[in-house]
Amino acid sequence: MGSVLVVCEKPSVGASISAVLGAKERGDGFFSGNGYVVSWAVGHLLEPSPPDAYDKNYVKWSYADLPIIPQNWIYTVTIGKSKQLAILCGLMNRADIDAVVNGCDAGREGEHIFRLVYEYARCTKPMKRLWISSMEDSAVRAGFDNLKDGAGYDRLYAAALCRSKADWIVGYNATRLFSVLYNATLSVGRVQSPTLAMIAAREAEIAAFIKEPFYIVELECGGFNAVSEKYKDKAAAEAIRAKCDNKDVTVTSVERQKKSAAPPKLYDLTTLQREANRLYGFTAAQTLEYAQSLYEKKYLTYPRTDSRYLTSDMVDTAGGLAARFQSKDFFVGKEFTPNIERLINDKAVSDHHAIIPTNESVNADISAMPLGERGLFTLVVVRLLTAASSNHIYESVTVALNCAGENFTLKGKTVIEDGWKAIDNAFKASLKNKPKNEEDEEAPVPPELTEGQTIANTRAALREGFTTPPKHFTEDTLLAAMENAGADEMPDDAERKGLGTPATRAGIVEKIIKTGYVERQKKNLLATTKGVNLITVLPNELKSPLMTAEWEQKLKQVERGELNDEDFINGIISMIKSLISENSAPKPEFFGLFPDTRKQASPPMGVCPRCGAPIREYNKGFFCDTRSCGFKLWKESKFFTAKRKELNKAIAAALLKDGKVPMTGLFSEKTGKTYDAVVLLDDDGGKYVNFKLDFSKNPKGVNHGPRT
């Protein structure tokens, strides 16, 4: 009887699953034993090959080559990962391996990582799928007891391929297009560009903001203060202050309203990243790294989830967890009976449920965890307890007052029952750096205030304030903006909205920072000049979040089999072809935006014989638009100056069109006399463009004009 090969996404996961399966014998890049061989990828072992893998001429960037659309996609081994790929291919084709289990992360990219290797190895052995949401031993055993047919995830793989191909088509073609047009390396992506556009737009709003003063009249009523509306006119506000100073105030109405604030929902990855950024200053990438590590250590459930609910079969598990952590005094304050039913919604869970602690984590030594993981684990435990707690109940009070015919207001609230806020407030009070921008607690209203009551001899003061600009994006607010981007324009029943997915947003943020388009200043994310300039030259379709949000929705349709993958890709190709045809030349108003873009560019006067890009006239010569091409015709070329001629526009145009031009009166340094000849363009693609002379009377194919 043969063995079953299990392919995990990471070595650490492979080691953990090997221990559960009893595969304890260590090999080179795998474990074996008890009928199993357990190996692993190291993330993506294969990636789509660059354009020059399809055609060596694509090494040079040329407008004429666009669009570049692979007909048969080929893949390149990721740098530094060839050994593990070879190990996996060898194992998949080993004679004693009867079946292969995809044990990569249970999601779109996990499917992608495994299937590319499976196909690269040309493996045809039966394929099963391990689909789990926890790395606990019990969850792994249950997963292997209920392995799925690998074919059942074909559509998930199709969606992963569509996402990968769409990113390649848009990324390579749009990047080359705008880099060639503006003679600068400009990175463009279907998700990163609209994300950058949001940051740039926010910075523009802040830059354009003009601070304006406003004035409020404040009544000091002995124990509480009441305020007027805001006034833009200081003189008008001062007149009201003088009018009300030392006057009696009458309570005209007291409105009391009992309100209830429900607990927050459990975390999905995005809300966890947002909260960790706000409270701890973690980047989205750091939060994902910590959560993934805690998952692999069996302390948290699967982190790359977009659900904030649990399934109905988890009632007992969640209830037991809440009770056990409550007994460990996780900022509970007082005992409560967890309401687990409010955490359950089967329809709101697709691939994975919300992030919660595992049963094994209850006995973990939290103090021994690395600092970042400890903070994140605490967040998840506290959220489980608050989400299962009772409502926060309070009485909201609005008091209307009148003084000398002018209206004033006092607002406040009285807490009736702390509910989930008791846990939340106790946790936040324990933090070294207390969170800022928390919702301000309204001051309690003096209970003796009643309608018709009079307060004598109040003092009136004038308080000046200023309008405030929009706030810079932080990773907290940017993730929220990415999640909701385009949502108002999407159908209400759209399953996937926003830019990217919970699993990819952190990578997008890191990429636009790494490429220099955005920079971090403490928690703030600011668009750089380079980033703003890029967004300035991009057309709306590449900056709009709606297009990418629609694509994410269509990828879900591909996954469910509601949309053919070829139709999805054809839509991407159609869009990129239109983009290229509509942007065939740079816009003159943008020439000064990039350091390497020449400011005095003219309309094209020929086509580059090397790469097919436009040739334009500049002060010193005629240069190709493609920065990496290097084709240049210098007006003071040594070849022409030695012959006492200038390489003018007419000569350059003829050389570009025909490759040759007849010329008269060429000076000979050797004889001191002049002669006639045909100048031939003799370009071998090197650093300099060369020329040579043809002295035949009528060279075949020569256009005899212009003559000089």
Which pLDDT score is estimated for 192?
A: 92
CA-to-CA dists, residue 31 to 9, 15, 120, 703, angstroms: 14, 8, 22, 74
Could you read off the pLDDT of 280-310 as tens digits, one per residue? 999 999 999 999 999 999 999 999 898 999 9
Sheet holding 632-634, edge to edge: 606-607, 614-617, 621-624, 632-634
Rg, the chain, Cα only: 34
Active site residue 231: no
Q: What is the token pair recorded at 389?
A: 């707690």
Nearest to 531 by CA among 518, 540, 519: 518
Give the separation between CA 308 and CA 300, rounded to whole angstroms.
14
Is there a cis peptide before residue 264, judged by omega within 30 degrees of 0? no
Residue 587: other Cβ atoms inside 10 A:
12
Residue 503 is encoded by which pair of tokens? 């699993």
**Identified catalytic residue from 153, 302, 309, 517:** 302
CB atoms within 10 A of CB 277: 21
CATH topology of domain 3-162: Rossmann fold (3.40.50)
Q: What is the DSSP letter of 48?
A: E
What fold, for 269-390?
Answer: Topoisomerase I; domain 4 (1.10.290)
> Which of 572, 571, 555 lies closest to 563 in space, CA to CA?
555
CA atoms of 432 and 280, how far apart (whole Å): 9
What distance in Å separates the CA atoms of residue 385 and residue 340, rounded to the nearest whole number? 10
**Identity of the residue numbered 162:** C
Q: Which residue has the tokens 């020059």?
A: 52
Low-confidence residues in the chain, pLDDT < 70 = 1, 330-334, 436-443, 446-447, 486-497, 595-602, 627-628, 697-708
The DSSP 8-state label assigned to residue 432 in this structure reads S
Angle at 44 between CA 84 and CA 142, to 5 degrees: 85
Q: What is the CATH number of domain 213-261+393-418+434-466?
A: 2.70.20.10
Exposure of 462 by Cβ count < 10 A (0-12 exposed, 13-18 middle, 19+ buried)? Answer: middle
Query: Could you give phi then psi for residue 655, rounded to 5 degrees?
Result: -60, -40
Q: Which two tokens stand for residue 268?
A: 């999905």
Q: DSSP 3-state assignment of 127?
A: strand
Q: Which helix (H) or strand (E) holds 354?
A: none
Residues near 456 by Cβ (< 8 Å), separated by ≥ 6? 248
* Euclidean distance between CA atoms 597 and 599, whole angstroms: 6
Task: Give the whole-angstrom CA distance, residue 109 versus residue 43.
Answer: 9
Relative to beta strand 674-682, strand 690-694 is antiparallel
- Would strands 247-261 and 225-227 be described as parallel, antiparallel, or unpaired? unpaired
Nearest partner of 269 among 56, 479, 499, 542, judged by Cα:
479
- Residue 291 host element (H or E): helix 284-296
Distance CA 625, CA 596 (A): 11
**Calpha distance 33→20 (Å, rounded):** 11
- The reply to whether omega before 470 is within 30° of 0 (cis) is no
Domain positions in the chain are 3-162, 213-261+393-418+434-466, 269-390, 606-694
Q: Could you tell me the two tokens for 310?
A: 């649990």
Treating both helix axes as pointing N-terminal to C-terminal, what angle do 371-387 and 284-296 enclose, rounded to 10 degrees?
80
